[in-house]
Structure 1
Amino acid sequence: MNLDDRDRRILALLQRDSRISTADLAEAAGMSTSACWRRVKALEEAGVIARYGVRVDPARAGLGFQAIVHVQLIRHDQAQVAAFIRQIERRDEVLDCFATTGQADYHLRVLCRDIAAYNAFLEGFLFTLPAVQSAQTNVVLREVKQAGALPL
């Protein structure tokens, strides 16, 4: 789907507040309510709008420990990699997982209640996966910037 300026404006507004009413969205985008509704539906059907959501403050939700984990695999055959990915996808603590170039094969963003919960994640889960050779942890001291919207 080719996005025009109005589509980008709608997307920017929805990223800021996905609960905005269609009427307010249309007004802010400079179009009629019905035309705006049709564009939003088209963006949803095309998969440009993947989902709507809410941002929760991790600390206020009792999740005060965050780390970036650099994982090296010992086995890179397709079956082992697929099994590793399936297991990672099942873990709620793993917010993001990126396959990357460089020394580490995968980078995980992990969020836990505290250091003890993180240690349990490592020892009871990550280090038990057959494909995992090693993991290096960088503890997040504070968030400097967290993008909430794509730069459209």
Structure 2
Amino acid sequence: MRLDSVDISILNRLQEQGRLTNAELAERVGLSASACHRRVKALENAGVIDRYVAILSELALGRGITVYVQVTLDNQKRDTLVAFEEAVEHVPEVMECYLMSGDADYLVRVLVRDANDYERVHREVLSSLPGVTRLVSSFTIRRVFSRTAMPVPDEVAVN
């Protein structure tokens, strides 16, 4: 799918403020409401817009500690990877999980209240996930910045 300047503008405005009404969005990008709606639907149908979410304050909800955990499994057989991935997805404190190259098999981002809460998650949950043999935890000291908006390229390959 080739994005034009209007599509890019729509995507950037929605990344800045996802609760814009269609009329507000149309006005900001210089389209009629119906033309804007058609474009947004086309971007959704093409998978360029994945979903709409509210971004909550971790601090306001008492989840002020972020821990990155490198997870090493006992092997990399398909069944072991699948079992781990299915299980870790059900851990509410795990916000992200990535299959990695390098020394660790996975990198997970965990949100917790404090060090005691992380100890509980580590002991009762993470260490008992299928195939886990090693966990290396790194506590963040302070968030320097965090982005939710990504740069929008002129051309997007959609499957």
For the aligned pair, the TM-score class normalised by the smaller chain equals over 0.9
Task: Give the deviation of 1:115 after TM superposition.
Answer: 1.4
Task: Give the deviation of 1:130 after TM superposition.
Answer: 3.7
**1:107 equivalenced with 2:107 (yes/no):** yes
1:33 corresponds to: 33
Q: CA RMSD in A?
A: 1.1
**Which structure 1 residue ranges, 4+ long, deviate > 2 Å from structure 2?**
none
- The normalised TM-score by structure 2 is 0.91
Whether the 8 Å contact between 1:75 and 1:132 is mirrored in structure 2 is no
1:57 corresponds to: 57
Structure 1 alignment gaps of length 5 or more: none
Distance 1:74 1:31 in 2: 56
Q: Which amino acid aligns with 2:57?
A: D
- The normalised TM-score by structure 1 is 0.95
2:69 counterpart SS class: strand
Structure possessing the higher relative contact order (Cα contacts under 8 Å, 6 or more residues apart): 2
* Alpha-carbon distance change, 140 to 35 in structure 1, aligned in 2, over 3 angstroms: same
* Alpha-carbon distance change, 130 to 41 in structure 1, aligned in 2, over 3 angstroms: closer
Task: Give the deviation of 1:107 after TM superposition.
Answer: 0.6
* Alpha-carbon distance change, 145 to 137 in structure 1, aligned in 2, over 3 angstroms: same
Could you give the per-residue CA deviations for residues 11-43 of structure 1, whole angstroms, max 9, x where no partner exists?
A: 110011111111111111111111001101111
Distance 1:140 1:131 in 2: 26
